[in-house]
Amino acid sequence: MADAKDRYAQGMATRRSVLGERYVDAAVANTDPFTDDFQRLITESAWGTVWSRDTISKRERSMLTIALLAALGHHDEVAMHVRATRNTGASMDDIKEALLHVAIYAGVPAANHAFKIAKAAYAEMKDEQAG
């Protein structure tokens, strides 16, 4: 098992590869003594341990993550992870399928709201790419 320093380094690399340099740089810049332990925890645990595993692809993790976040009503995180699909290889059709599962297993209202969030995130991504 990797030590915490290795998990942090791996987590930061994975986090940057999924969310992008700009997003992670902003998160790091906003870290202060109050949030430092939390940032370290998510970097080591979520990114350094779970997202860095090679059992399933980043595309599949993206789909799972978006479905779970949508089901739980974590709307800001849904938008962030939809934008991250640029880096994970999950297509719009992949996310549509994941959200259809949300409708069946977590409820139509959760999926309906997640579709709205995803649609807006995709529109923002298209505008960024065009301009």
Residues 24 and 73 in one domain: no
What's the CA gap between 105 and 87, in Å, rounded?
27
Can you give the residue range of the structural domain that contains 50?
1-55
Residues 37 and 98 in one domain: no
Nearest Cα to Cα of residue 14 among 62, 69, 66: 62
CATH code of the domain covering residue 79: 1.20.1290.10
Residues 29 and 92 in one domain: no
Please answer whether residues 96 and 130 qualify as being in contact, where contact means their C-beta atoms are separated by less than 8 angstroms.
no
Domain boundary among 40, 55, 70: 55
pLDDT at 1: 52
Residues 108 and 50 in one domain: no
Question: What's the domain count of the chain?
Answer: 2
pLDDT at 4: 78
Residues 76 and 130 in one domain: yes
Residues 20 and 8 in one domain: yes
Take residue 72 and report the two structure tokens written for it: 């739980």
Residues 69 and 123 in one domain: yes
Residues 108 and 130 in one domain: yes
Q: What is the pLDDT of residues 47-87, one digit of tens each?
A: 999 999 999 999 999 999 999 999 999 999 999 999 999 99
- Which residues have a Cβ under 8 Å from the Cβ of 84 and sit 6 or more positions away? 18, 19, 20, 62
Residues 96 and 45 in one domain: no
pLDDT at 5: 86
pLDDT at 34: 98
- Alpha helices per DSSP H over the chain: 4-19, 21-29, 36-42, 58-72, 75-88, 92-105, 108-130
pTM of the model: 0.92
CB atoms within 10 A of CB 9: 14
Q: What is the pLDDT of residues 33-45, one digit of tens each?
A: 999 999 999 999 9
Residues 19 and 68 in one domain: no
